[in-house]
A and B are shown apart, each in its own frame.
Chain A
Amino acid sequence: MTDRASFLAAIRSTPRGSDPGLLDRSVAPDAPTQLRDGEHRADRLQAEAESVSTVVHRVVATEVGATVVGVLVAAGAQRIALTEDLAPFADAVREAATTAGLSVVGYAEAASKRAQAGALDATVTGCLAAVAATGSIVTAASGAGRAGALIAPNHVCVVRDDQIVDGLHELFDGDVLAEAGSIFALQSGPSRSADIEKVLILGVHGPGNAHVVIVAPD
């Protein structure tokens, strides 16, 4: 068996090619994902998310419970799970969902048995961040878990206005990822495939129905 030392030694024994040097921050490239001057983050997040078939809702904090449950009921979801990162809105959502007659569990409990997680109709998550320029939500293993945001056919993500970052640079350079745990993940719109004759199909392995609820600052 090849071990680390011999594996790397084989690579080190080769001549070195020319090295253009590492880009430093002062020459950081302008990726095509930057915000335009004066553009409002939440507006851009909405526009980009909608362009990849996410349904976006703009609400104030007191409307979160009713909005989320409205989406779930419209989708015909019965069994729903809430993830840890929904925290500030979890009680409101749970209460509204229970009133509407939905069956609500915590995601950690649902995920303790794969079959149970696989039978969920919907999950409701918070997020670690959202990226305005790409219309993405960012979830972490420590919050929504690895599969919390895509195990069910319907997904609703609640995003606070102060969680929105401009673009990928701000996300990767910021401190927000420090607490992510074993995974962080960007998710932009419903699951999709165009493998069969280029026909776009939503909802292959992940949700076909993806909602983002943007909560305005108080």
Chain B
Amino acid sequence: MSATREDVGGTPLPPGWAQPAHQPDAFEISTTTFEQRATETMARPFARRAIANATDHAAALTTARFVGIDHDALRDKARQIRAHAIANLPDYLDQWIDAAEAHGTIVHYAADESEARRIVAQICRDEAVTRVVKSKSMASEEVSLNSALEAIGIDIYETDLGEFVVQAMGDRPGHVIAPILHRTKDEVHALFSTMAGRELPNEAEALTAFARDRLRHAFLTADAGISGGNFLIAETGEVLLVTNEGNGRLTTALPKIHIALVGIEKIVPRRRDLAVLLPLLTGHGTGQQITTYVTMVAGPRREQEPDGPERMHVVLLDAGRSALLGGEFEEALHCIRCGACQNVCPVYRQVGGHAYGWVYGGPIGAVLTPLFRGQVEGGELAHATTLCGACDDVCPVKIPLHDLLLGLRRRRDEEGCVPRSEQLAFALWGQVWSRPLLYRASTAVARGSLRVIARDGVLSAKAPLLRRWTAGRDLVVGRRRS
């Protein structure tokens, strides 16, 4: 008989505890517009403040981490490693597969999201899996793995503390490495108290201890552990996992089956390349020198080893990646998912990760979403940027995000995705502002208009006509001569 949820942790969880209050459409990007989603976050003052504080904090830690080091040279090396690995992707994948199979890893091939879901579901059926512990995986978010497994009756426990909260709230991660950046301690307290059936102390330590207990039982009873992979090492056939909580290592240590779902672009040629990439991934992600737990997995448990799974499955995920090879946007595949570009992006810092509508937020999200999901669903995101270039300056592998965003804007225009009214407006603007007299007249009219609708020199949120602009900010109207 399969274990039931009630076996896990003392108090039974309320039925449907992991079911979202509002079910995001499982396999599709949000159907709302960027503006609608951004407005939702902007309407939550805590979320805005928390996102700004957390991203400031992370960006400062990253800067501090590389003081006294030739950071730029290190980034150049990292870029070189990533560019080389991606330029030779099929060869390195071939090498990785040979090495992985040699130590007993079972390798599967998912051309797209639905195939990834089918493969993992089939492994779970074949292995009679009823309960899964999962360590954080953005690839699994991409393919909406959890809902596919829940649909066949599997209990899933996200074991990263933040992801556990995200799952229980029916939310989506708000940041690549800090999933509940946008949530308050009070919200977590209310959630966990409901789950516990009693009032827990409203302190981070007690709340973490509660999650640890729940998840420890899940670790000790799960049939399978599902993880992502931070890197695939071609020469050794290893999968690398980094976590600070230790859940990644436990995921591959305790259940009898380990399944890793990994995007093909995660390949790096050699272990020694990690001496460059790991400090950058960690330094740009959290500002640490090294992540607390770095685990290199080479297949299932071997004879004479005291613990570990009987079988290890790795699902290689393409899902739009190979289509980028050799093209204008290939460099998007260099990304190592550190989240640094989110931390410095003036747009992300205001609107948070959810506004991007799919799995990835910030500049890399604005690039990957239209590339993986198409122009219709994600194309507007290339415009949800200021093109300030802060992301280029911080990227540890020097992805020219600014150029990629411009390229996506251009492609969107070429594909005729821009509304006719917008095309007309810009054509008119071009005509007027290329003629000095008309230009001066237009600015005079604009200044005059602002003066009419402003109060005491401030264009406040209450001003008519420009509400969409002023809803989140006040504008001080300039004096005639400065």
A residues whose Cβ falls under 8 Å from a Cβ of B: 1-4, 6-8, 10-12, 14-23, 28-33, 48, 51-52, 83-84, 107-108, 111, 114-115, 117-118, 134-136, 141-142, 145-148, 150-151, 167-169, 172-173, 177, 181-199, 201, 203-206
Contact = CB atoms under 8 A, between A and B. Distances in A.
Contacts of A146: 249, 252-253, 301, 305, 307-308
A145 B88 contact: no
Nearest to B271: A172
A103 B160 CA distance: 31
Contact of A15 (B84, B247, B327): B327
B385 interface: no
Contact of B245 (A33, A114, A206): A206
Given A195-B161, A195-B162, A201-B208, A22 B87 contact: no
B344 interface: no
Contacts of A185: 249, 293-296
A10 B326 CA distance: 13
Interface residues of B, number: 103
Which of B94, B245, B278, B327 has the largest number of chain A CB atoms within 10 A? B245
A33 B289 contact: yes
A105 B294 CA distance: 27
B11 interface: no
A141 B301 contact: yes
Contact of A204 (B70, B245, B273): B245
Given A145-B253, A148-B307, A10 B297 contact: no
A29 to B, nearest CB: 4
Contact of B323 (A7, A14, A52): A14
Interface in B296-330: 296-302, 304-308, 316, 318, 322-323, 325-327, 330
Contacts of B19: none
B275 A167 contact: yes
17 contacts: A7-B111, A18-B87, A31-B74, A146-B307, A168-B279, A173-B272, A181-B304, A186-B293, A186-B294, A186-B295, A193-B245, A194-B178, A196-B185, A196-B188, A205-B247, A205-B250, A206-B246
A151 to B, nearest CB: 8
Contacts of B83: 17-20
Given A147-B250, A196-B185, A182 B103 contact: yes
A23 B73 CA distance: 13
B115 A1 contact: yes
A26 to B, nearest CB: 13
Given A11-B264, A108-B306, 7 more contacts: A17-B327, A29-B74, A147-B250, A183-B298, A195-B180, A203-B208, A206-B245
B337 interface: no
A83 to B, nearest CB: 7
B308 A182 contact: yes
B296 A204 contact: no
B107 A4 contact: yes
Which of A48, A135, A193 has the largest number of chain B CB atoms within 10 A? A193
Interface string B66-89: 100111011001011101101111
A23 B323 contact: no
